């Protein structure tokens, strides 16, 4: 079980807002910068439309994203940050990073889109929170309490820079990435504090940040850091094809959040693709999760679904269709897929409209309604947040 006295922060109260439907999202224009156009092309108007159609997204799903972002706008603090509503209250960087990521994932940056002022305020807060004084803590977010939060907040800065090429973000994003790289443990993972080893779960957020930095093509990522991370993944993997992953050693089970994290990391930094035996074996294993577990009246195991949805999306084919839409019902129409589950559980009543009720597990206990809503939005943006071809490395076998 993943220990999570970890990466959460949290706020005193939630605001209520109007039941009026928000106006549709303004679509940002396609970027002219060819260096990053491919990496973030799914977040443009044309890219979203293409990938939604190709991977089974829906107008209902896009409306849900729109409503969720409207709720997040109401939850932003006066200073520009966000705060989780349960759990540890002193670490605002992860909450702010997670909220900003939800906007960026829908193509809403601080330069383009309906929510550019909201995103600008969030990024301004994140930039100010980074220690830019040379020394041991150079590049560290000052409000973080562990490396979970560092990874989440850094990921937001890297994605924002990659989408907009805003020169004001580049040095701060690089400093935050450098802190992650310097903080890698001897075995190749990351611990709760910089310079220590711990587990696959913490590694997952660092790899996501490093991957986003590489996608920008001009933030510097040390190949040796990636090589050490791959060695750790090899160490904690299980099976002939290395398709299952443990917490901080081998022996993990195939259907778990840790295995989903491990496989997504393999896709991002080790060149694993649908043709790679371990990736195929792992993605197919996730389909063993009973559909009934996604049709109950509350969110459960959200951390697993956030990672597993990305893995199965990148795997594609019939497996993705079944995961996304569900198996055929009595009338032959697919039903009970992940999309149906998240759509059905989104709050549509006046109070907290557009959010999701707190996940019934350790993630919800630590991140509350705000974190739950951010993760649901990021999961629903899976169709276009990253295109499958983003990683240029060739297929490898373990």
Distances (CA, A) of 259 to 41, 288, 395: 28, 14, 19
Domain assignment of residue 107, yes or no: yes
The C-alpha atoms of residue 232 and residue 206 are separated, in whole angstroms, by 13
In angstroms, rounded to a whole number, what is the distance separating the alpha carbons of residues 159 and 116?
Answer: 14
**Domains: count for the chain:** 1
| Res. 293 pLDDT band, cuts 50 70 90 | low
Q: Is residue 17 part of a domain?
A: no
Pairwise pLDDT comparison (56 vs 25), residue with the higher score: 56
**Residue 251 maps to a domain:** yes
Who wins on pLDDT, 188 or 15?
A: 188
Question: pLDDT tens for residues 266-286?
Answer: 999 999 999 999 999 999 999
- How large is the average pLDDT for residues 89-97? 90
Number of C-beta neighbours around residue 250 at 10 A:
15
Find the mean pLDDT for residues 235-262.
97
What is the predicted pLDDT for the residue at 298? 82
For residue 294, the model assigns a pLDDT of 62
pLDDT tens readout for residues 28-42: 433 334 444 578 989
Residue 163 has pLDDT above 70, yes or no: yes
Whether 325 and 334 have beta carbons less than 8 Å apart is answered as yes
Query: What CATH number does residue 177 fall under?
Result: 1.50.10.20
| CA–CA dist 108, 115 (Å, integer) | 6
Asked, for residue 267, whether it belongs to a domain, the answer is yes
Q: Is 8 inside a domain boundary?
A: no
Count Cβ atoms within 10 A of the Cβ of residue 23 and give its class: 0-12 exposed, 13-18 middle, 19 or more buried: exposed
User: Is residue 290 predicted with pLDDT exceeding 70?
Assistant: no
Residue 11 belongs to some domain of the structure: no
Confidence grade of residue 390 (pLDDT, cut at 50, 70, 90)? very low
Answer for the pair 373, 101: CB distance below 8 angstroms, yes or no.
no
Q: Which domain holds residue 347?
A: 34-390
What are the pLDDT digits (tens) for 345-387?
Answer: 999 999 999 999 999 999 999 999 999 999 999 999 999 999 7
**pLDDT classification of 289: cutoffs 50, 70, 90:** confident
The mean predicted confidence, pLDDT, of the chain is 88
pLDDT at position 292: 54
pLDDT of residue 9: 34
| Residue 372 phi, psi (nearest 5) | -60, -45
Whether residue 133 is contained in a domain is answered as yes
SS3 346: strand
Give pLDDT, residue 39: 83
Q: Does residue 124 form part of some domain? A: yes
């Amino acid at each position: 079980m993943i220990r999570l006295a970890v990466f959460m922060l949290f706020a005193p109260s939630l605001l209520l807002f109007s039941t009026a439907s928000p106006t549709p999202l303004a679509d940002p224009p396609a970027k002219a910068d060819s260096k990053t156009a491919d990496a973030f092309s799914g977040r443009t108007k044309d890219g979203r439309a293409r990938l939604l159609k190709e991977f089974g997204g829906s107008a209902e799903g896009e409306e849900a994203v729109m409503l969720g972002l409207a709720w997040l706008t109401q939850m932003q603090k006066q200073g520009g940050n966000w705060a989780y509503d349960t759990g540890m209250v002193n670490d605002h960087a992860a909450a702010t990073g997670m909220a900003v990521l939800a906007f960026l994932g829908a193509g809403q940056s601080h330069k383009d889109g309906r929510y550019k002022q909201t995103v600008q305020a969030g990024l301004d807060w994140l930039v100010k929170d980074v220690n830019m004084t040379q020394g041991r803590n150079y590049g560290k977010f000052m409000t973080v309490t562990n490396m979970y939060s560092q990874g989440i907040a850094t990921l937001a800065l890297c994605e924002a820079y990659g989408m907009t090429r805003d020169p004001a973000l580049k040095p701060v994003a690089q400093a935050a990435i450098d802190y992650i790289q310097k903080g890698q443990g001897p075995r190749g993972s990351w611990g709760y504090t910089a310079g220590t080893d711990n587990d696959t779960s913490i590694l997952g957020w660092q790899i996501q940040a490093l991957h986003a930095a590489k996608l920008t093509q001009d933030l510097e990522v040390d190949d040796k850091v990636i090589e050490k991370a791959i060695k750790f993944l090899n160490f904690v993997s299980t099976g002939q094809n290395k398709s299952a992953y443990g917490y901080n050693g081998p022996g993990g089970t195939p259907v778990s959040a840790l295995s989903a994290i491990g496989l997504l990391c393999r896709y991002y930094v080790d060149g694993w693709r649908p043709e790679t035996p371990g990736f195929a074996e792992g993605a197919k294993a996730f389909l063993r999760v009973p559909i009934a577990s996604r049709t109950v009246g509350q969110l459960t195991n959200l951390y697993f679904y956030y990672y597993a949805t990305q893995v199965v999306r990148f795997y594609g084919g019939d497996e993705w269709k079944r995961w996304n839409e569900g198996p055929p019902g009595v009338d032959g129409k697919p039903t009970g897929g992940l999309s149906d589950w998240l759509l059905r559980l989104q709050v549509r009543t006046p109070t907290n409209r557009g959010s999701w009720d707190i996940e019934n597990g350790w993630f919800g206990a630590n991140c509350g309604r705000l974190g739950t809503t951010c993760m649901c939005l990021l999961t629903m943006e899976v169709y276009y947040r990253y295109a499958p071809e983003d990683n240029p490395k060739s297929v490898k076998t373990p």
